[in-house]
């Protein structure tokens, strides 16, 4: 077989940078007809299937929506149609990795109760069974192929009939040889002509971090660009067409000054640009739908990159016209009939391939039965939808299980007595524990990865660094502005293509803190303290329960990968959650939910998430009703327990009303409020609206007593008048034992009770008191105003 030849007119190379050419923009100049001795080769590619054989959402126990149909069974139908149309001999089918992890199906047979049967060979791995039906020609390893250890990967490879698993940059540390086959040569006879297709496999080298517990000391993961430079020339000498299956996405790493020692994660474009001789590069890993990109390499030749949609949502059909190279072989034509890509999507109406469905029918049904096994009941619905921006009970359930598991394990050891904290990430926005029966699929939907539990020792300063790094997830917001989770999360930084994913944002239990997103990155964590209010000192020592992905450096969080490990029993976190739910029988958030952290755009040093009225005070700040006192060092105080003075109350009510225009009187309506008073406009507005009348001085003038604390009875009157004195039938029997119908502001106070703005203090005998003459504290003022707004009252105009 002669050496592989590139039959394309070279495009001048500008330095070493890629020229990205959407094929729709290529010149449409007249070209000669395709020669009679040309042959056509088609490459069908999938990537990142993640265990999705059937179009079935195991977490919802239902098919995926018709607009989002997916799965290998549907992709197989598209592949079969192309084989039927073009002839099977001219079609090469490849997969780009991340195959055996990602659904309860692959969990059950890779890590769950059926794992041993797969290892023993008494049960075939379901993904291998499906791949054998589709009849793949080659597959590269993805990073998730190592999630269940090397034994499981070997068993899967054993069950594949004719599909070699490739991985040229994965090297056996003992022998120094490739651990997987680096490439394979596929011989095809197309229209009577012998064509050789060389396929090389590469995987992102992050495996050394993400699955450290399985590969450390066994496998070395080398840079993909350098590995391609080594193997492409070898394959090029033996093949007519060179295909690289690179389990890596298109990234933003510059080609100039590229450093292989960095072991970059997403370098599909760098491989295509820096390594001559590649005809087609199949990309993946990043879960993007990029069917067709053309780049120009360092020698001026064009290379096509195709990245199919993930989970079997799409399969790409790449058609190559091959022309005789004059030396007994073939080369890819880029001039007469340039390569084309046709993406096929499950949503386009492809039915599931009955042969694939039948192949895994029993295993699919076993999985459905498994995930629908009830394990507990929940006293209320626990959604995860808002977990990325507020403390939720369902994430606290994870942290509580991790925290107590580690604390129990450390009892009686040298680490006993050290504070145990825990990290968890909001993996899913759709996870939910329903009220009532909770099944394994509900828990699996919450914790979608097969992480194991570890614990490491950190200092207080390291914990703060860790939280500051996590808080990078949020977009900086103007102080006091309302936070929008749709635009305020998944912050983008230089080099990012998708923003920080939810799984790389962590929340901690066991410590109290506030994240002030109005602050720049690195200065957002406020009030970091233990639950008793004592600050976390920089030299304090704590134990943090953490998943193995994070503990191995996944996500790039500081300190944790190098921290001393004090616990690692290789217990799977998802199973710990299932076991805890079964042990409890009843999942009651009252036993584990602890609102220890909160997000704000206006933090106060003296208001922690554990404060009774934290949310209400935050609402005042974010709606510019309360600003607090600036301390001179960039921080602010609210003074929640201080009584609110009548002048500050006037300001709060005025701002609650939207700060309306007010024509300031030249003469003050109150003798003790000068026109230069800090809150003259606000107090004048109250008088103008008949919200405040003040005290009659007996000489026809009135006083306001601006610095006097306001009583709870007078506050009721102010809010009632602010609402334009709505009609209200005061009850004959008082809702509070310490006021009577003859109390001065009885109507106003009972109106507060009726509307839910005030509940008073509940006694053990079912009665309540209001404490009408008690001064209103600033935190209670926040509660009054927030409830007033929640009740839908519009201030009088």
How much of the chain is helix, strand and coil, in % rounded to 5? 30, 20, 50
Q: Are residues 483 and 361 in the same domain?
A: no
Give the pair of three-digit tokens for residue 550: 């994070």
- Tell whether 380 and 353 lie within a shared domain: no
Predicted confidence at residue 17, as pLDDT, reads: 41
2: helix, strand or coil: coil
Rounded Cα distance, 58 and 61, in Å: 5
Q: Is residue 105 part of a domain?
A: yes
Which 3 state secondary structure label does DSSP give 106?
helix
d(CA 642, CA 536): 26
Beta strands in 372-459 (DSSP E): 374-378, 382-383, 420-424, 432-433, 436-439, 452-459
Please provide the distance, in angstroms rounded to a whole number, between the alpha carbons at the two ends of the chain.
Answer: 89
Q: Are 557 and 677 within one domain?
A: no
User: What is each CA distance from 573 to 47, 446, 451, 593, 619, in whole angstroms?
Assistant: 27, 11, 6, 18, 36
Q: Is residue 510 part of a domain?
A: yes
For 601, the token pair is 């755009």
- Does residue 553 share a domain with residue 503? yes
Which neighbouring-strand residues pair with 201? Answer: 245
- Mean of pLDDT over the chain: 93
Domain harbouring 480, CATH code: 3.90.780.10
Is residue 11 situated within a structural domain? no
Q: 695-712 pLDDT, tens per residue?
A: 999 999 999 999 999 999
Q: How many structural domains comprise the chain?
A: 3
Cα 754 versus chain centre, distance: 42
pLDDT score recorded for residue 766: 84
Give a yes or no: residue 607 inside a domain. no
Q: Indicate the DSSP class of residue 244.
A: E
Question: Are 689 and 729 in a shared domain?
Answer: yes
Separation CA 552–CA 541 (nearest Å): 20
Whether residue 3 is contained in a domain is answered as no
Are 346 and 413 in a shared domain? no
Residues 470, 359 share a domain: no
Is 181 inside a domain boundary? yes
**Residue 655 and residue 532 in one domain:** no
The pLDDT value given to residue 36: 84
Owning domain of residue 199: 23-30+38-367
Indicate the residue among 367, 385, 409 that finishes a domain: 367
d(CA 237, CA 734): 95
Task: Kindly report the CATH number assigned to the domain that includes residue 262.
Answer: 3.60.21.10
Select from 304, 338, 367 the last residue of a domain. 367
pLDDT at 21: 45
221's CB contacts (< 8 A; 6+ apart) are 169, 170, 171, 203, 205, 206, 207, 208, 215, 263
Q: How confident is the model at residue 13 (pLDDT cuts 50, 70, 90)?
A: very low
Tokens of residue 588, six digits: 């009651």
Give DSSP secondary structure letters for 331-344. Answer: EEBSSSS--EEEEE
Same domain, 183 and 268: yes
The mean-pLDDT minimum among 82-91, 144-153, 226-235, 659-668 falls in: 659-668
Q: Report, as an integer, the average pLDDT of 559-584.
A: 94
Q: In this structure, are residues 58 and 371 in contact, taking their beta carbons and an 8 Å threshold?
A: yes
Neighbours of 615 (CB within 10 A): 16
Residue 2 Cα to chain centre, angstroms: 49
pLDDT in tens, 368-418: 999 999 999 999 999 999 999 999 999 999 999 999 999 999 999 999 999
Instruction: Return d(Cα 439, Cα 421) in angstroms, integer.
Output: 27
Helices (H), 125-223: 126-134, 150-159, 207-210, 212-215
Are residues 513 and 481 part of one domain?
Answer: yes
Task: Specify whether the CB–CB gap between 127 and 160 falls below 8 A.
Answer: no
Strand-strand pairing, 39-46 and 91-95:
parallel
Within this chain, do residues 438 and 357 fall inside the same structural domain, yes or no? no
**624 domain residue, yes or no:** no
Question: Is the whole-model pTM more than 0.85?
Answer: no
Shared-domain flag, residues 469 and 543: yes
- Sequence-distant contacts of 80-86: CB under 8 A, at least 24 apart: 80/353, 82/42, 82/44, 82/317, 82/344, 86/40, 86/42
165 falls within a domain: yes
Write out the two tokens for 452. 């194991």
Note the pLDDT of residue 762.
86
Q: What pairs with residue 294 in β-bridges?
A: 304
Residue 734 CA to residue 748 CA, distance in Å, equals 12
- pLDDT for residue 151 is more than 60: yes
Strand ranges (E), 204-240: 219-221
Q: Last residue of a domain, which of 311, 333, 367? A: 367
């Amino acid at each position: 077989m002669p050496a592989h030849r590139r039959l394309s007119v070279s495009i001048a190379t500008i330095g070493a940078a890629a020229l990205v050419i959407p094929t729709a923009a290529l010149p449409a100049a007249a070209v000669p007809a395709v020669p009679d001795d040309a042959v056509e080769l088609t490459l069908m590619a999938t990537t990142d299937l993640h265990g999705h054989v059937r179009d079935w959402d195991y977490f919802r126990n239902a098919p995926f929506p018709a607009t989002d149909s997916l799965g290998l069974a549907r992709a197989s139908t598209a592949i079969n149609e192309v084989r039927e149309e073009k002839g099977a001999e001219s079609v090469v089918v490849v997969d780009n990795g991340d195959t055996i992890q990602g659904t309860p199906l692959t969990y059950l047979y890779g890590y769950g109760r059926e794992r041993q049967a797969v290892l023993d060979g008494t049960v075939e791995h379901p993904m291998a069974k499906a791949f054998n039906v589709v009849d793949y020609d080659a597959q590269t390893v993805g990073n998730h192929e190592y999630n269940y250890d090397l034994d499981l990967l070997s068993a899967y490879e054993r069950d594949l009939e004719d599909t070699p698993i490739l991985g040229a940059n994965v090297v056996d540390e003992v022998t120094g040889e490739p651990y997987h086959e680096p490439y394979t040569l596929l011989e095809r006879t197309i229209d009577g002509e012998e064509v050789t297709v060389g396929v090389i496999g590469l995987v992102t080298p992050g495996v050394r971090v993400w699955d450290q517990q399985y590969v450390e000391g066994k496998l070395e993961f080398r840079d993909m660009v350098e590995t391609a430079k080594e193997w492409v020339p070898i394959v090029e000498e033996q093949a007519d067409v060179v295909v690289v299956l690179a389990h890596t996405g298109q990234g933003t790493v510059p080609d100039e000054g590229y450093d292989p020692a960095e072991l970059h994660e997403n370098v599909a474009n760098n491989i295509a640009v820096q390594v001559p001789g590649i005809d087609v590069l199949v990309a993946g890993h990043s879960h993007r739908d990029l069917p067709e990109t053309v780049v120009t390499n360092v020698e001026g030749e064009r290379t096509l990159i195709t990245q199919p949609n993930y989970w079997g949502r799409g399969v790409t059909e790449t058609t190559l016209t091959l022309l005789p190279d004059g030396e007994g072989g073939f080369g890819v034509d880029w001039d007469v009939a340039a390569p084309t890509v046709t993406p096929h999507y499950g949503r386009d109406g492809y039915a599931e391939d009955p042969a694939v469905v039948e192949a895994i029918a029993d295993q699919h049904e076993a999985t459905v039965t498994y995930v629908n096994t009830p394990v507990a009941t929940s006293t209320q619905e626990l959604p995860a939808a808002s977990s990325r921006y507020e403390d939720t009970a369902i994430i606290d359930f994870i942290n509580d299980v991790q925290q107590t598991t580690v604390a129990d394990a450390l009892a009686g050891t040298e680490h006993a007595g050290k504070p145990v904290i825990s990290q968890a990430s909001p993996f899913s926005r759709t996870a939910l524990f329903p009220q009532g029966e909770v099944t394994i699929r509900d828990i699996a939907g919450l914790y979608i990865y097969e992480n194991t539990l570890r614990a490491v020792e950190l200092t207080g300063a390291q914990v703060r660094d860790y939280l500051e790094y996590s808080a990078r997830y949020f977009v900086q917001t103007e102080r006091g502005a309302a936070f929008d989770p749709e635009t305020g999360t998944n912050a983008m930084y230089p080099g990012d293509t998708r923003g920080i994913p939810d799984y790389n944002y962590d929340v901690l239990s066991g410590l109290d803190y506030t994240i002030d997103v109005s602050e720049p990155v690195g200065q957002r964590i406020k009030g970091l303290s233990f639950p008793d209010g004592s600050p976390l000192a920089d030299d304090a020592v704590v134990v943090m329960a953490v998943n193995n992905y994070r503990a191995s450096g996944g996500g790039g969080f500081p300190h944790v990968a190098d921290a001393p490990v004090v616990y690692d029993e290789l217990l799977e976190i998802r199973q710990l959650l299932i076991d805890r739910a079964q042990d409890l029988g009843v999942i009651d958030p009252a036993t584990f939910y602890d609102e220890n952290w909160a997000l704000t755009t206006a933090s106060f040093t003296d208001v922690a998430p554990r404060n009774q009225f934290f949310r209400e005070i935050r609402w005042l700040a974010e709606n510019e009703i309360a600003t607090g006192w600036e301390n001179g060092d960039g921080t602010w105080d609210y003074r929640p327990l201080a009584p609110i003075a009548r002048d500050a109350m006037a300001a709060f009510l005025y701002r609650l009303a939207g700060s309306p225009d007010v024509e300031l009187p030249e003469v003050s309506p109150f003798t003790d409020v000068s026109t230069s008073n800090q809150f003259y406009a606000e107090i004048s507005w109250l008088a103008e609206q008949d919200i405040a009348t003040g005290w009659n001085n007996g000489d026809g003038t009135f006083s306001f007593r601006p610095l006097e604390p306001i009583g709870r009875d007078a506050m009721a009157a102010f809010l009632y008048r602010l609402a334009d004195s709505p009609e209200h039938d005061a009850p004959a029997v008082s809702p509070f034992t310490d006021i009577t119908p003859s109390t001065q502001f009885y109507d106003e106070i009972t109106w507060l009770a009726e509307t839910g703005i005030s509940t008073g203090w509940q006694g053990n005998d079912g009665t309540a008191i209001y404490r009408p003459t008690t001064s209103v504290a600033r935190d209670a003022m926040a509660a009054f105003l927030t409830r007033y707004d929640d009740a839908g009252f519009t201030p009088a105009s």
